[in-house]
Chain A
Amino acid sequence: MATVSYQQATRFYPGADAPAVDGLDIDIADGEFLVLVGPSGCGKSTSLRMLAGLEDVDEGTIRIGDRDVTGLAPGKRDVAMVFQSYALYPHMSVAENMGFALEMAKVPKDERIRRVREAARILDLESYLDRKPKALSGGQRQRVAMGRAIVREPQAFLMDEPLSNLDAKLRVSTRSQIAELQRRLGVTTVYVTHDQVEAMTMGDRVAVLKDGVLQQCDTPLGLYRRPANAFVAGFIGSPAMNIREFTVTDGHARIGELDVPLSRATHTQLAREDSDRVLLGFRPESVELVGPTEGYPVAVRLVEELGADTYLYGSVIGAAELNGPDIVARIAVDHTPSIGDTVHLRVRPGQEHAFSPVTGVRLE
């Protein structure tokens, strides 16, 4: 177990215009569960592969504990990796799969068998040790891949979308099992996913990447409450945050018939950028239904009833700025309106987010 740190780690793919990973700086504490998340092509898998040694580091360094591993071969880094396809060795039994790394490390046979047994017990794989991967179900194969990592007792676990080949129900239960197992073993873990729910539920901290650049690295709640920029705000949370651009006049953003006041700090920052526009956003769950004289009148276009929640899709009447995609609001189930109704909505005070229209950076 050890700390892991990326220091200005950069990877250029030959022939590409921009780096796949650009000056990545993350310090991961001993025993921490860090999730790398982002849309496809954001460099999250490349970052993980750089740590594993499967991808070259063109600039910067990567350290595991106090060792500089930047130029080290994958096998010498003492990290274990779980692949998206599990990458089990098809001609070896479950026990041989799990023991292969120990065999390569010339661990004595007794010790090897003991550790494989132990890992199989933890993962409930004891009765499958003699089977070939082909004779296992998807969930069992996933557990063998985990077992292969566990038996090594490595400095760090690297997981590259290990749940994406499971069906939805199994994914949810395996998700909590992995998180629980990681906490029990206390091994530093870097976990890659494109699924923001996985990222939010599993990680001690979550690093959001876009186009090879780290956008924000914070606890799940930190990301949710104070997204560092408009991209993170739109990426974290489901359904996504409603974000629109508005004109600023006399210190207010003009939305339909109403003026929304902006804080002084927001003002100063906008003035510094010489911008007369602002990006405002609110989460669907920050909205409440109000009486007909308050808030904004919204024409309901679509209602999604999920049982626990109701999502309402509609457009604000008389606000040309809000044309385009519908705004989304979560409302209480017992007040579900019908399609075509007009309801009045209000954003709870203090739950709106402001971003610079030029840089996308959060404004306080």
Chain B
Amino acid sequence: MSTSLAAAPAATSRRRAPEPPKRTAAERWKRRGPLLPALLITILLTQLPLLGTLYYSLRSQNLLRPETNGFAGLSNYATVLGDEYFRAAVVNTLVLTASTVVLSMALGIAFAVLLDKKFLGRGVVRTLLITPFLVMPAAAALLWKHAMFNPLFGMLNWLLSVFGVDKIDWVSQFPMPSIVLMLTWQWTPFMMLIVLAGLQSQSTEILEAARVDGAGAWATFRRITLPHLRRFIELAILLGSIFVVQTFDPIFLITQGGPGQATTNLPFLIYQTTFRAFEVGEAAAAGVIVVVGTIVIATFALRVISSLFQEET
């Protein structure tokens, strides 16, 4: 042993990992082949509709006047962007999404903090709190329209009558707050679940260290827990915004976008343009604008949120 060590050459050439073996084209395709059907289906289901939408957005296409069909260039985009209804719908969508996401996130954090504590019947409470998220959106919308908002027999008015508040016609007098209320009810569990996952991933030793350091409950939450939750809150806000922007069921079922245009958001406007006005080209152009706008705003929002919190890690 020792002799062979001593006899080893002083300057050996540096050893290299062996080169990965080159694969032939046939071999490579054998490996990729099984993935192809899934890829094809994905392209078929996601990319073709997008391409179709792009195609229609460049055409003048009205189902009631087939004689005017033809290539229209970017005129659909110009029409849509110049349309005051479209701009009103953009504002409505922003208001609806922002209010819903902010409210449901605030409530979600509150509920998650409560559910993170141990108490009798926590499992039951947790299940009950998640239920709104499990109810079908259309069913939930009908439930709120009749059981909650109805001016004559709705539960909201019954509850307020205890405090001496007169009957309110929720959907007519406060259309947007009504929709936001209903959506907040529906999305709070989603936010709560993600924040709860974040809370439960927090090290108990760090919380104990904060207690020994003399931090009270509020200081611990604000200085230790909230920075830890940052990534979870970001994720929840991003996913929540993407879903809430697409809201259609409650608007269709509760307000029909009304009164007037008060609750017409982009999905409902596009629906109206396609199936009420049969302006397929304009609807397609609006759809494309919405997709681009969503991507831009989501990216921007994520940056803003990130800079709001101090960086963890």
Q: Do A and B come from one complex?
A: yes
Interface members, chain A 139-189 (any B CB < 8 Å): 148, 152, 158
| Complex-state Cα separation, A201 to B167, whole angstroms | 79
Q: How far is the CB of A312 from chain B (nearest CB, A)?
A: 27
In the complex the two chains form, is B310's CB within 8 Å of A83's CB?
Answer: no
Known: A81-B209, A83-B208, A104-B219. A90 touches B214 (CB 8 A): no
Q: Are A91 and B213 in contact, CB atoms less than 8 angstroms apart?
A: no
Give the complex CA separation of A52 and B213 in angstroms: 11
* Given A104-B219, A132-B313, A134-B313: A89 in contact with B206 (beta carbons within 8 A): yes
Chain B at the A interface: SS class? helix
CB pair A75 B209 closer than 8 Å: no
Judge whether B215 is part of the interface by a CB distance below 8 angstroms: yes
Interface size, chain A (Cβ < 8 Å): 28
Interface string of A37-63 (1 = CB under 8 A from B): 000000000000000111000000000
A91 to B312, CA, bound (A): 4
Residues of B within 8 A of A101 (CB): 212-214
Query: Interface range on chain B: under 10, 10 to 19, 20 to 34, or 35 or more?
Result: 20 to 34
| Bound complex: CA A105 to CA B213 (Å) | 9
- Checking A87, A92, A104, A105 against B205 with a beta-carbon cut-off of 8 angstroms, the contacting residue is A87
B228: Cβ under 8 A from any A Cβ: yes
Q: Is A251 part of the binding interface, using a Cβ–Cβ cutoff of 8 Å?
A: no
A90-B228 contact in complex given A75-B214, A104-B219, C-beta closer than 8 Å: yes
Asked if B208 and A75 make an inter-chain contact with CB atoms under 8 angstroms apart, the answer reads no
- The B188-221 residues at the A interface (CB cut-off 8 A) are 203, 205-206, 208-216, 219
Determine whether the beta carbon of A75 is less than 8 Å from that of B213.
Answer: yes
B223 within 8 A of A: yes
Structural contact, B208 and A100, CB atoms closer than 8 A: no
B214 A76 Cβ-Cβ under 8 A: yes
CA distance A329 to B219 in the complex (A): 58
Q: Is B154 close to A, CB under 8 A?
A: no
0/1 interface trace, chain A 70-112, chain B, CB 8 Å (1 if under): 0001111001110111011111100000001100110000000
The total number of A-B Cβ pairs within 8 Å is 74
The answer to whether B203 touches A87 (Cβ under 8 A) is yes
**Residue of A whose beta carbon sits closest to that of B224:** A89
Closest-CB distance, A165 to chain B (whole angstroms) = 12
CB-CB under 8 A from B227, the residues of chain A are: 91
Contact of B212 among A54, A84, A89, A91 (CB under 8 A): A54
Take A54-B212, A75-B211, A75-B214 as given contacts and tell me if A91 and B228 are in contact as well, using a CB distance cutoff of 8 Å: yes
Instruction: Give the chain B neighbours of A100 by CB distance below 8 A.
Output: 210, 213, 215, 223
Q: Which residues of A contact B27 (CB under 8 A)?
A: none
Q: For B223, what are the chain A residues with a Cβ–Cβ distance below 8 Å?
A: 89, 100
Residues of B contacting A53 in the complex (Cβ-Cβ under 8 angstroms): 211-212
Q: Give me 13 other A-B pairs in contact (C-beta within 8 A), A89-B210, A90-B206, A91-B228 excluded.
A: A54-B212, A74-B208, A75-B211, A75-B212, A75-B216, A85-B205, A87-B206, A91-B227, A91-B310, A104-B213, A104-B214, A104-B215, A148-B209
User: Which 9 residue pairs across A and B have the least CB separation, nearest first?
Assistant: A75-B214, A101-B213, A87-B209, A91-B312, A87-B205, A91-B227, A104-B214, A74-B211, A81-B212
26 sampled A-B residue pairs with Cβ under 8 A: A54-B211, A74-B208, A74-B211, A75-B212, A75-B214, A80-B213, A83-B208, A84-B205, A87-B206, A87-B209, A89-B210, A90-B206, A91-B230, A91-B310, A91-B311, A91-B313, A100-B210, A100-B223, A101-B213, A104-B213, A104-B214, A104-B215, A104-B219, A105-B214, A132-B313, A152-B213
